[in-house]
Amino acid sequence: MSPSKGNDRGSKGRKSGTGKSSRPSKGSSSKKGTGRARRPAPPQGPSPIAVAAVGLVVLLLLGISLFVAFKGSAPQPTPTATPSATPTSTPSARPQRTPKPTPETVETPEPVETPEPSEAPEPSETPESGPEPVAPATQMGPGGALTGPPAMAEFRGETETVQVKRVIDGDTFVTTDGRKIRMIGINTPEVGRPFKKDAADALKELIWGAEVTLEYDGPKAKAIGRYKRTLAYVHAKGVFVTGEIVRRGLAYVYLYPDTKSHNEELIGYQREARAAKRYLWSKPLPEPAKVYIGNRRAPYFHREGCNRIKRLKPGKNRVEFKSRNEALDAGMNPCDDCKT
Ligand SMILES: [Zn+2]
């Protein structure tokens, strides 16, 4: 019962039907009302006035109910307005970003290149399995933490820009155009030596995905080494990568007689790493020898009495140092037997 509504609308009590009729279904209900209204009429036959009144009422009711029925059906269009809007709001799914862009990590290990058995001890090249996904920075070695700015140096020779395809170890990588770059001026641990992987990881971190600048230590045309590797200093991301590897204690400075452009910086970075006892410099040193003997032609030095030094004949290539540090500051590396 919604009397109030009915009342407002029509004139009679009948209105209940009418009130309802404001909805589409009303039409029928109002008719019922009409029917009922008629019934009472007949019995009252005697009074014509009553009959007329009833007739009037009936007509009125009919009119009203028809009107209402009409109205009820007409408004239908309005309610449809809203529905379609809601469903569209769901597709909030946002394009998923694909995580790591680290490409190129699948490389197959390069066939081992066997160096010619020449006398000059250029570090043997023993490519390791392809790089794993770029390793996070190895900021802290067994020694002191890295502090201060990374290694920097200006260009002093002809330069060229390349892209890295693969890192082989701490001082060698392959470019996208297929050249093998051996970083000049340094020597990182060889296979089986401590910190070899740390050095490779550091190089990856420093050059991976970057535009790398090769800096030649003279004319580019002369920068091809004995093993057909391109010899160059390396810069990337604003860092003198060659020096940074040294500064982190992951490479010895390794100066051939004709290595010249960055000797001082490299020696300086090596001193810093040594003082902080990073990586290569983290191990206790053996008892000092009375004399250290170096080979100018191939930058290695030995403790007096080392078996390897016996092959070095006295001559202009033989040089003596009073201390290990003196030999290191000359850009020479201890031989494997004399490292510890
Ligand atoms: Zn030795």
Provide the 3-class DSSP secondary structure of residue 166: strand
Q: List Cβ neighbours of 223 (8 Å cut-off, separation of 6 or more).
A: 216, 217, 230, 231, 232
Domain 120-283: state its class. mainly beta
d(CA 163, CA 149): 24
* Ligand 1: centre distance to CA 305 (Å): 8
Question: For the domain 285-340, what is the CATH superfamily, name and number?
Answer: DNA Methylphosphotriester Repair Domain (3.40.10.10)
Structure tokens at 181: 């770059």
d(CA 59, CA 76): 27
Q: How far apart are CA 48 and CA 40, in angstroms?
A: 14
> Range(s) for CATH 2.40.50.90 in the chain?
120-283
Q: How far is the CA of 165 from the centre of ligand 1 (A)?
A: 35
338: left (phi over 0), alpha (psi -120 to 50) or beta: alpha
Rounded to the nearest whole angstrom, what is the distance from the C-alpha of residue 336 to the centroid of ligand 1?
6
List the structure tokens of 149. Answer: 């700015």
Per-residue pLDDT of the chain (340 residues; tens, 9 = 90+): 433 343 334 334 344 444 444 444 444 444 444 444 444 444 454 566 655 555 555 555 555 554 445 444 444 444 444 444 444 444 444 444 444 444 443 434 444 333 333 333 444 444 444 444 444 444 455 677 888 899 999 999 999 999 999 999 999 999 999 999 999 999 999 999 999 999 999 999 999 999 999 999 988 888 888 889 999 999 999 999 999 999 999 999 999 999 999 999 999 999 999 999 999 999 888 889 999 999 988 899 999 989 988 878 788 889 999 999 999 999 999 998 898 7
- The pair phi, psi for residue 42, each rounded to 5°, is -50, -45
Please calculate the CA angle 298-300-301 and round it to the nearest 5 degrees: 135
Q: Find the 4 Cα to ligand 1 centroid distance in Å.
A: 113
Residue 151, amino acid: A
CA of 113 to the centre of ligand 1 (A): 25
CATH 3.40.10.10 residue ranges of the chain are: 285-340
CB within 8 Å of 296: residues ≥ 6 apart? 257, 316, 317, 318, 319
Burial classification of residue 147, based on how many CB atoms lie within 10 Å of its CB (0-12 exposed, 13-18 middle, 19 or more buried): exposed
